[in-house]
Amino acid sequence: MVKDRLAELKSKSKYANHNADEPSQVEAPLSRSQEEIFRNLEKFSQLNAWIQTIRANIAEMRKQIGSSKFHYNDKAFRDRMEDKLKENNHLCQRINSSIKHVESELGDECVRTGVLFRIKNTQFLVIRDDYLSAYREHEELVLYYEHRIMSMMKLEAKAMNYNITDDEALEQLTGNQRSPFAGNLLEETERERQILRDIMTRHSQLEALEKSLMEVRDMFVRISTLVMEQGSLVQVIEYHAQQATLNTDHGAHQLQKAREYQIKTLKKRTCLLIWLSTALAVLLFLVIIF
């Protein structure tokens, strides 16, 4: 680990601020090599601060993942984890670019035996190894985080009688699906609700049919009761109807006999008138003669 001597070196530099109460001291101007050492120290100190930030984020995320309250459907928790992971990725990119830049500068150095080169190279190697170690820790944490979420997904899928493979779990994880089985559960619930609605509809139809049959039964019972109540009246009506038929036939027979009697009477009247007319004619003739 590189000891941070930036503050000490800055205090000895010509740019250091001194209190007004202290007697002014005349500092010798820094050489070009010293200025470059200060610049390298500032650069490596910044890189070291970024690496420490990465490790702090890793420690915090590992603590949260290991907590008993951890659940991948917790939006606030996943947002915090995503923010930390994005911050670490951003810092890793910046550190990687800076390390490549320093490595390029070291490769362009003409004098590789000087003290300045050895100091810079030592700082570079220490920072690079420290960064690689932090990056491996970051990758291990990401793998552990994904494995933990996939394990919880499988447990929830098993509890819901739904089989899920590692590829499906990884796809749902990369798709940032916070409730991957909610859709399946909602589909099953909607399907069961549709079946229940169909059963209730058929039940209502059967109830309506049963009600219609009961109404028909009640109607037949009412008709039977009315027939029983009006039975005697119907019998009287039937008797009078039969008597009316008989009387009609008898009346027709009587009319036929009356017609015959009328014809006979008419014949007798005609004969009588003829005889009377003849008698009157004879009498009148006799009166005229005598």
Can you tell me the mean pLDDT for 83-111?
81
Q: Is 137 part of any domain? A: yes
Q: Which of 29-38, 130-139, 169-178 has the highest mean pLDDT?
A: 130-139
Residue 12 has pLDDT above 70, yes or no: no
Instruction: Report how far residue 106's alpha carbon sits from residue 110's, in angstroms, rounded to the nearest whole number.
Output: 9
Can you tell me the mean pLDDT for 217-223?
79
Q: Is 129 part of any domain? A: yes
Residue 28 has pLDDT above 60, yes or no: no
Predicted confidence at residue 247, as pLDDT, reads 86
Residue 24 has pLDDT above 50, yes or no: no
How many domains is the chain partitioned into structurally? Answer: 1
The more confident residue out of 123 and 231 is 123
Q: Is 110 part of any domain? A: yes
Q: Is 68 part of any domain? A: yes
Predicted confidence at residue 52, as pLDDT, reads 92
CB count within 10 Å of CB 245 equals 10
Can you tell me the mean pLDDT for 280-290?
83
Residue 26 has pLDDT above 50, yes or no: no
CB 112 within 8 A of CB 75: no
Q: Is 280 part of any domain? A: no
Q: Is 10 part of any domain? A: no
Q: What is the CATH number of the domain that holds 172?
A: 1.20.58.70
CB count within 10 Å of CB 164 equals 19
Q: Is 205 part of any domain? A: yes
Instruction: Report how far residue 290's alpha carbon sits from residue 282's, in angstroms, rounded to the nearest whole number.
Output: 12
Instruction: Report how far residue 225's alpha carbon sits from residue 92's, in angstroms, rounded to the nearest whole number.
Output: 98
The string of pLDDT tens digits covering residues 227-249 is: 776 766 777 788 888 888 888 88
Predicted confidence at residue 111, as pLDDT, reads 54
- Which domain does 103 fall in, by range? 33-181+188-229
State the average pLDDT for the chain.
76
CB count within 10 Å of CB 242 equals 10
Q: Is 158 part of any domain? A: yes
Instruction: Report how far residue 12's alpha carbon sits from residue 14's, in angstroms, rounded to the nearest whole number.
Output: 7
pLDDT-derived band of residue 29, with 50, 70 and 90 as boundaries? low
In angstroms, the Cα distances linking 72 to 53, 65, 139, 173, 181 are 24, 10, 19, 9, 12
